[in-house]
Amino acid sequence: MTTFMDVHHGMVGITAEQLKEAHNADLAIEGEEGVHFEKAWADPVSGTVYCLSEAPSAEAVQRIHARSGHPASEIHPVALSI
């Protein structure tokens, strides 16, 4: 398993409720790909959303996000953390 940070652009105006709904939609199906989304942060002004996950691959992260209706713009494995 690898830790990933993925980034969504273009989500200007996202609300707390929409972030929660999007995150819950991921959580509902993440197990099918062996992914776990741990945390998400959103900047409604720039429309940027960051998601932290543990997953077997970037492709698995993207498949869950895509099925939930919000494919990521970037997915980076973050091998290091502190």
Tell me if 75 sits within 8 A of 61, measured CB to CB. Answer: yes
* Residue numbers at the binding site for a second copy (CB under 8 A): 3, 5, 14-16, 19-20, 23, 39-46, 48, 50, 52, 76-82
Q: Residue 7 in contact with residue 42, Cβ under 8 Å?
A: no
Q: H/E element holding 75?
A: strand 74-77
The CB-of-33 to a second copy minimum distance in angstroms stands at: 20
Q: Which is nearer to a second copy, 48 or 71 (CB)?
A: 48
Q: Cβ 31 to a second copy, closest distance in Å?
A: 18
Cα–Cα distance between 82 and 66 in angstroms, integer? 29
Q: Which is nearer to a second copy, 33 or 52 (CB)?
A: 52
